[in-house]
A and B are shown apart, each in its own frame.
Chain A
Amino acid sequence: MSPLRQLFLLVLPHWRPMLLAVLLGFFTVASNIGLLTTSAYLITRAALHPPVLDLMVAIVGVRFFGIARAVFRYMERYFSHDVTFRILSSMRVWFYRKVEPLAPSRLMDYHSGDLLSRIVTDVETLKNFYLRVLSPPLVALLTLMVSCYFLAWFDVRMSFLLLLFFLMAGLVAPLLIGWWSRPWGKEIVQSKSNLNALLVDSIQGMADIEAFGQRSRQLKKVAKETAKLLKLQGSIAKINGLANSLTGLCMNLAMWSILVLAILKTEQGELAGIDIAMLALVALSSFEAVTPLPLILPFFQESLAAAQRLLAITGPAGPNWHNRQENTSPQGYDIQVSQLSFRYAADSPWVLRNVSFTVPQGKKVAIIGPSGSGKSTLVNLLLGFFDYQAGSLKLGGREIRDYQQEKLLEQLAVVTQRTHLFNTTIRENLLLARPDASREELVRAARKAKIHDFILSLPEGYETYIGEGGFKLSGGQRQRLAIARAILKNAPILILDEVATGIDPLAEQEIMQDLYQLMQEKTTLVITHNLMGLEQMDEVIVLVEGKVVERGNIF
């Protein structure tokens, strides 16, 4: 689906409040036109010294438009913000709905926080699509139609003059400026990103810069790039500065040409002199609707780019699961892998090649091997995150690909090297594993994971907020919470994927020892690059470059 079509589809359900906000926006502009034209009419009428009563309608009109303008402006701001938030909410839900079935296969490349925050920013950018892109031209169009209709009463040529300058200011000038500044724009983006890279290097690599005495060289580099950017920004300022002044120029030219036409018509007796002032002011005041138009293009491009990026992520559907069956359930809890081969894409190298092994029910098997040997891929296959191309991967006698993912994951408790803890209380984080767990069960799990005492030492115990903005946990504490979560889930099969990576060796040793206690009676698969504690396993499999090169007992 094209990003534009997708954008329209997303805002379409909100057409009613959007329409209301557009109408209110139009009324705001129209009230201003009304205020100025009735004022002009009032003064010109008064100059002819009529009885005061004759002016009452105009006086009431002036006052009415004066108040209406403010009220409409208020309502317009209120309702357009309301719609914007509604759209934002839809966008979030839409994106989440799209991306949820794809996780984690599609989000693998987005693991770093930076890329994910860009997704969040992209979604928030889209909320401007209505406010900055859709609404202004609609308001402008309505204003133009009504103003032209009004002018046509006097002379249709005036309508055409207004239309001409309206289009010049709202359409031709912004496009021209956009086209003209384009080559500079590209250079500026390039120069900015170079400068950013230099600045990031300066801050993050400061220790290295100082250690090698490169400070002044780095500062010179930054100064040079800044000077280049400064020059480019100077050139583009000339073009961009035109935008505002062109709008003003078109506005005044429209007024001037309509004025000349009106004088000519008065001279020919086709127009009453009383209308001249009014017509000039209609032309001037209707241009208020043009002011936001030059900004549409950049906002439009921004929204489109954001939508494109989001669609690229959610893009073509994930693994093909058409043979998933409703009621596949495991017969026992063993894992059988035979002649399993897998690659991420048809044109990429095989990650697993003819891998075969078995984890009998209640036994413990470790897979070791250097990084990049395919260990973690194996776990991803077991969790049903990717589909395998050849061989078989069975859990409880059934092919993994036959399971419904929820059903499959119910059988597995997983602790990975990067367990995510949510920005909420410790209790909520634990409850994720089993929402209906009682307080006692929670404490029992925490005790088993040897984290209970630590939790109690926190200011608010189990109610302590953790994560961003909350209490910062150490790597070991995080992993222990993750383990408590796995205990609470109490699934028959346990998968430990590099649990202790990145933890202080002393803490690592303790955690591993505690984990072996938990493995009793469970079917366990341990993924590690660490040779410690392997004597406790029933079998050890050595995986190198996707192949099983060795297997056996450590003794």
Chain B
Amino acid sequence: MIDKRLLKEASKTRFYLVLTIGLGMVTGLIVVWQAKVLASIVSQVFINQYQLAQVQTLLIILLGLIFIRALLAWYSEINAHRVAARIKAELRQRLLEQLFQLGPVQVRGERTGELTNLLVEGIEALEDYFAGYIPQLVLAVAVPLTVLLFVLPIDRTSGLILLLTAPLIPLFMILIGQWADHLTKRQWHVLSRMSAHFLDVLQGLTTLKLFGRSKDQIRVIGRISAEFRQTTMGVLRVAFLSALVLELLATISTALVAVGLGLNLIYDRITFEKAFFLLLLAPEFYWPLRLLGAKFHAGMNGVQAANRIFEILDQPVQTSTAKVQGASLNQQRIHLSFEKVHFSYDQTAEIVKGVSFDLGPGQKVALVGPSGAGKSTLANLLMGYIQPTKGLIRVNGLPLESLAGQEWRQLVALVPQTPYLFYGTVAENILFGRPGATEAEVRAAAHRAGAQEFIEKLPQGYDTPVGEQGLKLSGGQAQRLAIARAFLKNAPVLVLDEATAGLDLSTELAVQGAMKRLMEGRTVFIIAHRLATIYDANHILVLNEGRIVEEGQHQKLLEQKKLYYDLVRAYGGCQE
């Protein structure tokens, strides 16, 4: 019903929250007042046979109340949306910061889609909670209470009917709601399976066609949809009973109040004015409660999204015990060493099992191994995205952990396997390497990365938008932009993750040439997939199942005729 943590978020905009409650209470009073004035106008004309002129003042008051009520509703809505927008903006920023704290390894792979969705859609779902559900909840308490306060002293029976049914409505709403929710959730599962089936069929349409089975699907889609409708309607038949009960409570008690009042009037136990006043109040009494039911569902979606948001916000963050400034290191002579490094995401399966190696200044170390051997994990450890569960990584003798992540990464340039291009121009993407660089420096970096030629052929040259909403670049072009980025950064240590996917020969050569230029004079750690790259390395590490199984020079490893030999033979297909 009310999520405590969400309410805590709301309390940060406490002024607005108080305002929401205040507005709700004033609305309740205006509602009662309007009914009161209307009842007395009708009563005076009907019972006392007053003329228009005699009720003129009351009519003008009524008109005034009508406008005030509209203004109140308007202002409440504006207020609610403002609160929601503020909370959303604040939470979004906090969630994003937290994700950065958790680091790129935590948000990698399949989770990226889910997390982006949470940042965009999940946060938006809170709008319904804060702008729809909470204000309505306030109204659903304030208006019936105010109404009751006026009804009880006038007619105890009517008051009791309202008083007894009012708590039943939210109670039933919760009880039936939960039960129906359970049913609909199960149904959602079926529904999403059905949508998934449709998507599956569309994705596999070519395959279906190749096997001459695409026409059958017309019938299958129709059949599955019909089956789904039947089972769903079976569930809904029951689930909608909640609507029936709620509606019945509200209408029957209104009817009861009306009939009771009628009988009281006959026996002169109440005046017409009071009776009509009560009759006008009955629907106003139930209206906000029923609206709450309508907004309940949307509000609960918000709570579900909130649960996932808080789950992430509550995750502990690795706090680095950074003391040493990266600048204090001798940048020209970076010596890196892995000492019996172990790593596992959870305590069960170790991905890296006691890896030790040295990377001296100006050295080039190549890492090879079958997929799943733990190569990227080693690169992530080196980048400081994750910390070893056991063992140490030292930089010039200092533990890597003692350097702040950002400080260490100042000294490292990364060229990933599939470089990410940001939404922005080509120039902005290169500038990413060093935001302060001049245009001439950007061009020089592009030139050295062998990217100059294709960039100049793009429709707007360096100003061509790329990334998500811009021009799609080929894999080879994206790689050369990433290399240009690394040139611009000009860091002493280089981490390269070669692309596995085959580029065509001419692009391949261009990329390799650029990589070679980039490696000159730097300390390089490279995850290699190309024979040519391996030849150039001073030292080769062969990784399998988290362990270094062979290491040394190309020729020596080849002669051993073990895993390295097999790998090189397989790579051989690409080159020669």
Contacts and interface: CB of A to CB of B under 8 A. Distances in A.
Contacts of A505: 500, 529, 567, 570-571, 573-574
A208 B420 contact: yes
B218 A85 contact: no
A200 to B, nearest CB: 5
Contact of A212 (B405, B489, B567): B489
Interface string A505-518: 11011000000000
Interface of A: 31-32, 35-36, 38-40, 42-47, 49-50, 52, 55, 58-59, 62-63, 65-67, 69-71, 73-74, 77-78, 81-82, 85-86, 88-89, 92-93, 96-97, 99-100, 103-104, 107, 113, 116-117, 119-120, 123-124, 193, 195-215, 217, 219, 222-223, 226-227, 229-230, 233-234, 237-238, 240-242, 244-246, 248-249, 252-253, 256, 259-260, 263-264, 266-267, 273-274, 276-277, 280, 285, 369-372, 383, 405-406, 409-410, 412, 414, 419-423, 432-433, 435, 467-469, 485, 489, 501-502, 504-506, 508-509, 529-533
B100 A242 contact: no
B107 A93 contact: no
A46 B266 contact: yes
A101 to B, nearest CB: 9
Contacts of B218: 93, 96-97, 100
Contact of B422 (A205, A256, A423): A205
Determine which residue in B34, B49, B74, B241 has the highest number of CB atoms from chain A within 10 A of its CB, and name it.
B74
Chain B at the A interface: SS class = helix
Contacts of B252: 66-67, 70
Given A226-B93, A252-B66, A530 B574 contact: yes
Interface in B26-71: 34, 38, 41-42, 45-47, 49, 51-52, 55, 59, 62-63, 66-67, 69-71
A513 B100 CA distance: 45
Given A85-B233, A211-B412, A92 B198 contact: yes
A205 B49 contact: no
B420 A46 contact: no
A529 B103 contact: no
A506 B214 contact: no
A306 to B, nearest CB: 15
Determine which residue in B41, B99, B243, B262 has the highest number of CB atoms from chain A within 10 A of its CB, and name it.
B262
Interface of B: 34, 38, 41-42, 45-47, 49, 51-52, 55, 59, 62-63, 66-67, 69-78, 81-82, 85-86, 89, 92-93, 96-97, 99-100, 103-104, 107-108, 112, 115-116, 119-120, 195-215, 217-218, 221-222, 225-226, 228-229, 232-233, 236-237, 240-241, 243-244, 247-248, 251-252, 254-255, 258-259, 261-263, 265-266, 268, 272, 275-276, 279, 283, 370-371, 383, 385, 405-406, 409-410, 412-414, 416, 419-423, 432-433, 435, 467-469, 482, 485, 489, 500-507, 529, 566-567, 569-574, 576
B206 A210 contact: no
12 contacts: A46-B266, A71-B244, A89-B229, A107-B202, A210-B409, A211-B383, A222-B93, A233-B85, A245-B71, A256-B63, A506-B566, A509-B569
A70 B422 contact: no
Given A233-B81, A531-B573, A203 B251 contact: no
Contacts of A46: 261-263, 265-266, 275
A31 B432 CA distance: 66
Top 8 nearest A-B pairs (CB, nearest first) are A370-B504, A532-B573, A241-B77, A89-B225, A66-B255, A420-B204, A237-B81, A39-B258
A420 B206 contact: yes
Determine which residue in B215, B232, B254 has the highest number of CB atoms from chain A within 10 A of its CB, and name it.
B254
Contacts of A92: 198, 221-222, 225
A66 B258 CA distance: 11
A280 B276 CA distance: 12
Contact of B255 (A63, A214, A242): A63
A409 B49 CA distance: 90
Given A89-B226, A96-B221, A97-B218, A240 B69 contact: no
A273 B51 CA distance: 11
A203 B119 contact: yes
Given A46-B265, A47-B275, A508-B573, 18 more contacts: A45-B262, A46-B263, A66-B251, A69-B251, A78-B237, A85-B232, A92-B225, A99-B202, A117-B199, A199-B116, A207-B416, A208-B482, A211-B413, A213-B409, A213-B410, A230-B86, A237-B77, A248-B69
B259 to A, nearest CB: 5
Contact of B199 (A38, A120, A509): A120
Contact of B420 (A44, A205, A266, A506): A205
Nearest to A529: B502
A432 B228 CA distance: 23
A269 to B, nearest CB: 10
Contacts of B199: 113, 116-117, 120
